[in-house]
């Protein structure tokens, strides 16, 4: 399942012409998966902060 998500994210970056699309896909998916895992600590602030950080990072590309 994660392989499919990585492939999809890589295609999205590739279609936008960004360099290193596979590396960016790995960064995005690992960041999202990490924040989801840490969200199990029952601290919604983690999801909010990390989600906002990922959005800022994506906007900067």
Q: What is the pLDDT along the chain (61 residues), one digit of tens a residue?
A: 999 999 999 999 999 999 999 999 999 999 999 998 888 888 888 889 999 999 999 999 9
Q: Using CA atoms, how far apart are residues 27 and 45, in angstroms rounded to an integer?
A: 21
User: Global pTM?
Assistant: 0.84
Residue 26, domain extent: 2-60
The number of residues in the chain equals 61
Measured distance CA(24)–CA(29) in Å, rounded: 9
Domain count, the chain: 1
Three-state secondary structure call for residue 28: helix
Please answer whether residues 13 and 21 qualify as being in contact, where contact means their C-beta atoms are separated by less than 8 angstroms. yes
Give SS3 for 12: helix
Query: What was the pLDDT predicted at 4?
Result: 97
């Amino acid at each position: 399942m994660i392989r499919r998500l990585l492939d999809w994210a890589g295609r999205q970056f590739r279609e936008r012409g960004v360099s290193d699309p596979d590396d960016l896909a790995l960064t995005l998916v690992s960041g999202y998966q990490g924040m989801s895992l840490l969200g199990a600590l029952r601290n919604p602030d983690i999801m909010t902060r990390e989600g906002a950080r990922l959005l800022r990072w994506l906007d900067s590309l």
